[in-house]
Amino acid sequence: MVLPFLILFFTEERGFTAGEAGRMLALYGVGGLLGAFLGGWLCDRMAPRRVMIASLVLTGAGFLVLGYLEARWALAVTIFLVSLVGEAFRPANAAALAAASTPENRGRSFALNRLAVNVGMSFGPAVGGLLAQRDYGWLFLADGLTCLAAAGLLAAGPGLARAATAAVVTAASPRSPWRDGPFLVLLLLMTALGAVFFQTAGTFPLTLHELHGFSEAGIGLMLAVNTVVIVLFEMVLVHATRRIDPLLLVAVGSFFFCLGFGLLPLGSGFAWVAFTVVVWTVGEMLSMSAGSAVVANRAGSGSLGRYMGLYVLSFSAAQVIAPVAGTWVYERFGPDTLWYVCGALGVPIALGFAALAPAWRRGAETAATARAAA
């Protein structure tokens, strides 16, 4: 609930300029960088389930505090710490999913996980927008309590889940992500894609608020368009494209994702903005689940945590870049220029993923041969 409205919280409630708010969001990204690395490192040493529970508890406590702070130094310290513990959840969650599924069904596993997330996101931002419109304190309170509730549900889960997530730390580690050239190239491309993606938590709501006149509730409803489309169609799309090279799917998805943002300045009104959201949502569905699955399949079973940690870290790096670069372009050149640049970035990113596909396939075939020999 909180992230889509953080930039408005800083500008509307705490008197920050757009650039200052962007730097605060970048600080969240810096904490996320460290959190993603920490979470991945911990997952190769303890059950990811424990990492997830600790992350949820600490994040919930952080949100309960954050909404009531006013001093800028206190806001900066707290948002850094919240992102540090919060982003440790993502590699743990990805490692647990990968450990509990086979290479053949990991794409569907990650898509199903995204569906579960987006069921919550279908009404989370909409409810969050209504709460923020009433009082931002209620927004932070609701997000903090739901994090704590999620931790309780995970802690009370069945023993089978414990066995599945513990399996990650008992396997041998045959591969180092730092020596995997194609994987490192993929991280760079994902960082570039993430720099566009994370405009949704910064300049996108700012554009809707300042240029299109959307209220916080209207912004929440617009973001709900994204999640409803994912809930209704992602599993169908994943099934229909299961025989296509996953990196080519990521390439096509990247193009459509950026295109959706590039279309934003070409119209106005709720219907047009909703159409652009649908376009970039199609790109998101094609690229995100496939990207997680190809990384999990490439990692050795004992290095899942490190691979998924670095994969999440690429998005955390984008969270540092996106708000600073996005708000700088927004203030200096205007929102239209920003969205045209985001649209144009889709071409080199898509070509990069397509060019990477042959080397990635060769690496996958070599890994499969090694596993068969073992």
d(CA 112, CA 351): 28
Classify residue 208: in a domain, yes or no: yes
Classify residue 373: in a domain, yes or no: no
Classify residue 95: in a domain, yes or no: yes
Residue type (1 letter), 132: A
What was the pLDDT predicted at 163? 42
Please report, for the domain that includes residue 264, its CATH number: 1.20.1250.20
- R_g (Cα) of the chain, nearest Å: 20
d(CA 206, CA 26): 16
Is there a contact between 235 and 224 (Cβ–Cβ < 8 Å)?
no
What's the distance, CA 51 to chain centroid?
Answer: 18
Residues whose CB falls within 8 Å of the CB of residue 21, separated by 6 or more in sequence, listed in order: 6, 7, 10, 11, 202, 323, 327
What was the pLDDT predicted at 173? 47
Q: Residue 265, Cβ neighbours under 10 Å: how many? A: 18
Classify residue 68: in a domain, yes or no: yes
Q: Which tokens in the block code for residue 368?
A: 């499969």
**HEC per residue, 289-313:** HHHHHHHHHHCCHHHHHHHHHHHHH
Q: What is the pTM of this model?
A: 0.74
d(CA 259, CA 247): 18
The 8-class DSSP code of residue 10 comes to I
Count of structural domains within the chain: 1
Angle at 190 between CA 220 and CA 276, to 5 degrees: 35
**Tens of pLDDT along 163-191?**
444 444 444 445 678 888 899 999 999 99
Classify residue 374: in a domain, yes or no: no
Classify residue 319: in a domain, yes or no: yes
Span 243-261, mean pLDDT?
Answer: 93
Q: Which tokens in the block code for residue 262?
A: 């590039």
Q: Which tokens in the block code for residue 229?
A: 């489309």
Location of structure tokens 């990204």: 29
pLDDT at 159 over 60: no
What domain range is 272 assigned to?
3-368
Which of residues 43 and 278 earns the better pLDDT score? 278
Residues whose CB falls within 8 Å of the CB of residue 331, separated by 6 or more in sequence, listed in order: 18, 19
d(CA 12, CA 209): 11
d(CA 100, CA 106): 9
What was the pLDDT predicted at 265? 92
Classify residue 313: in a domain, yes or no: yes
d(CA 242, CA 245): 8
Whether the CA torsion 219, 276, 265, 318 is positive or negative: it is positive
Classify residue 284: in a domain, yes or no: yes
**Tens of pLDDT along 47-101?**
888 999 999 999 999 999 998 898 999 999 999 999 999 989 988 888 888 778 8
pLDDT at 374 over 70: no
d(CA 346, CA 263): 12
Residues whose CB falls within 8 Å of the CB of residue 239, separated by 6 or more in sequence, listed in order: 108
